[in-house]
Amino acid sequence: MDLTEYNQYLIAKGYSTDTTTGAVSIALKFLEWTDKQGIEITTINYNDVTAYIKSNQQRNIKTRTVQYIATNVNHYLNYLVEAGILSHNPALALKIKNAKRKTVYNILSPAELETIYKTYKAELPDKRSSLPPLGERKGGYPPQTLNKLARKRNKTLLGLLIYQGIATDDIKNIELSHLELREGKITIPETRRSNERTLKLEPFQILDLFDYINGTRKEILTLTKKKSNTLFISIGKSNRIQNVLQKLTEEIVEQNPGIENLHQIRASVITNWLKIYNKRKVQYMAGHRYVSSTEAYEANNIEALQEDIQNFYPQL
């Protein structure tokens, strides 16, 4: 069974070796099953597809794995429709009960992610005269100064979201001791749902973090009269970082209409990683406890196949 064209399409799109191998492997197993059952792929129907899915369910594999198989079979059948081999996709109405589907986001390219970071201004234009040094100030901080401190902090935080793909749940757990600026590294501590990992910082992040820790963060601590070892400090009375994330999300969405939320950024980072690194490395970088969690992001790669077929086969 020759799946060369399907394989070439995946490679041409720049998908990782693991993503390509997985997608082709599932299509191959599906074709092997239809051959054993005496089913011509050109005449396959809904009942044939459900019978194949049920045969996988009988193997007592995880429901999410069955969903992954069904999703890839569905995409392969879409590919056959676009290639003119099938008149329609008989699996379009197929649903797997009790399957927890990961949201498939509009994936942002590395260039788009970098644009989000670069266009977020750490400092807004300030028409007021400069304020006196911290030790000479009397009274509270004016709103414009509070906003300036918040944006500088948020710019540093945004860098970790975009370049290290950290999850929003990780932010509150990162402490000063997790930074190794001389080595250009940051360690993301484990949580109930993720593993610890040590990731490389971009050169400009090292400088930004140094300035943030020795400037902005110290001012926030003085302002709030807080004592904390955590990297990111809220300006309000509460120690919760959720309000910070909500405000940052609102600012990013307002400036970038294509952005839905911060989870979309992480999904994009992980999906882009899968095009460069092998699955196990991405699993480590993302902090996933199970490789199946990493594999779920491969759907973001495969989901794009149907709309891109016309670009690869313009003659169809």
Each domain of the chain, given as residue ranges in start order, spans 4-102+296-312, 110-269
Q: In this predicted model, which residue has the larger pLDDT, 117 or 67?
A: 117
Model pLDDT for residues 161-176, shown as the tens digit of each residue:
999 999 988 999 999 9
Low-confidence winner among 55-69, 147-161, 224-238, 251-265 (lowest mean pLDDT): 55-69
Q: Are 283 and 295 in contact (CB under 8 A)?
A: no
Q: Which residue has the tokens 């994009």?
A: 268
Backbone phi and psi for residue 188, each to the nearest 5 degrees, phi listed first: -95, 115
Angle between helices 143-163 and 262-274 (to 10 degrees): 30
Element of type H or E holding 56: helix 46-57
Question: Domain spanning 4-102+296-312: which CATH class is it, in words?
Answer: mainly alpha
Domain 110-269 fold is hpI Integrase; Chain A (1.10.443)
Place of tokens 């899968």: 274
Residue 243: its pLDDT value, please? 85
Confidence band, pLDDT 50/70/90 cuts, at residue 191: confident
Write down the pLDDT at residue 260: 85
